[in-house]
Amino acid sequence: MVAQVIDGYGREITYLRVSVTDRCNFRCVYCMPEEGVPPKPHASILRYEEITRIARLAVSLGVQSIRVTGGEPLVRKGITSLVNALAGLKSAGLRDLSMTTNGSLLAPVASDLAAAGLDRVNISLDTLRMDRFVRITRGGDLGRVLEGAGAALAAGLTPVKLNVVVTRDNVDEILDFGFLAMSTGLIVRFIELMPLGHAGVMQPGAYVSTERMKDLLGQSGSLTEVNPAGLGSGPARYYAWAPHQGVAPSPGAHDAAQVVTHKVLSHRDAGAPALVGFITAISSHFCPGCNRLRLTADGRLAPCLWSPEEIDIGTVLRSGALDEEIVRVLRSAVAAKPLEYTASDGISRRRMSRLGG
Ligand code: SAM
Ligand code: SF4
């Protein structure tokens, strides 16, 4: 019989997000303060064997998907060896091993990660304009991220999804992202800005709703809801988008697509529609379908992105606990999942860089 763990509201928990570091080489304006966040002491950060043990026990309870995230997971040394160890859990029931990354360090390691057993990557990228990219990430290099996306496609870390947090500052690039998806095969997911972490520094009115995003795409092309199989364990809704005749990308979007595809051997049908997704974090609750737990780099289980509650599994693990005790902690985190949150509480001080998104 396949193991199953169900929370107090009947939701089956099948997905674990593992933040492997709270450090990052970017300082995205909505995520971190300019000076960064004080790093957790090295000794408090879970070692790879510790993460793998928790993951193994989570899989024994019915977790089928694991996502490695951060901070920026690729800044942590030896990450390929963690991926390799986690991929070993496929024989125990793990079906999907993925990573969320800012993509800046991905190009040189994409094929190693694929060889180690990583199935796919999500890359966060909010703009295709160089000057904007520098401003949003506070110093990042757009070309390296585009190279990273191309390397991921070439390494077969597919489907490669681009996560785009849409705000008033980049909403004018929605069509360009649609064109990028069309010409590269990247799946672009538009995400509503959440009032978490450092989002409070954004200008009032920075938030753009999914409805507005869909209107913009719908006015310039056909947007049809689709239900593609096997697109992961998250709350995104997917659509096919094809531009109306005469609607064209900006030159920057065309150049970005060239960088992404220049090492990719298989070519897409020129007329194939883009696959785009929307993550309506704010305008429509996805709590009823929540299937996840989060593990922070310093060994806390977070039952919910919004609730401040955390359960210290790291200390239990380091006290020499038996597997059964660790399983009990995992179960207690599942039991602590609230039914839903309300964003009306305003900005939560919880950090996305700590919780891994
Ligand atoms: N550094 C990696 C990256 O950027 O992909 C992984 C960690 S990052 C915290 C995970 C995701 O959280 C990114 O896609 C980022 O855009 C998103 N994120 C961070 N703060 C956010 C906010 N306030 N609202 C919506 N998404 C946010
Ligand atoms: Fe770093 Fe990701 Fe946060 Fe940007 S969103 S600062 S890349 S952790």
Ligand 2 lined by 29 (C-beta under 6 Å): no
Contact call for residues 191 and 281 (beta carbons, < 8 A) = yes
Higher pLDDT, 172 or 357: 172
Closest ligand 1 atom to residue 352 Cα is 9
Ligand 2 lined by 24 (C-beta under 6 Å): yes
Q: Which ligand is nearest to the CA of 357?
A: 1
- Of 26, 104, 124, 283, the residue with max ligand 1 atoms within 8 A of its CB, to mutate for a pocket test, comes to 124
pLDDT of 178 strictly over 80: yes
pLDDT of 231 strictly over 80: no
Quick one: average pLDDT of 83-103?
98
pLDDT of 347 strictly over 90: no
- Of 75, 100, 124, 355, the residue with max ligand 2 atoms within 8 A of its CB, to mutate for a pocket test, comes to 124
Q: What is the pLDDT of residues 30-54, one digit of tens each?
A: 999 999 888 899 999 999 999 999 9
Ligand 2 lined by 133 (C-beta under 6 Å): no
Q: What is the pTM of this model?
A: 0.95
Closest ligand 2 atom to residue 100 Cα is 2
Contact call for residues 357 and 99 (beta carbons, < 8 A) = no
Which residue puts its alpha carbon closest to atom 1 of ligand 1?
72
Confidence grade of residue 287 (pLDDT, cut at 50, 70, 90): confident
CA atoms of 213 and 353, how far apart (whole Å): 25
CA 320–ligand 1 middle distance (angstroms): 34
Domain boundaries, the chain: 13-101+288-357
CA 31–ligand 2 middle distance (angstroms): 6
Which residues fall within 8 angstroms of residue 219, CB to CB, at 6 or more apart? none
Q: What is the pLDDT of residues 181-200, one digit of tens each?
A: 999 999 999 999 988 877 77
Average pLDDT over all residues of the chain: 92
Beta bridge partners of 274: 241
Confidence grade of residue 10 (pLDDT, cut at 50, 70, 90): very high
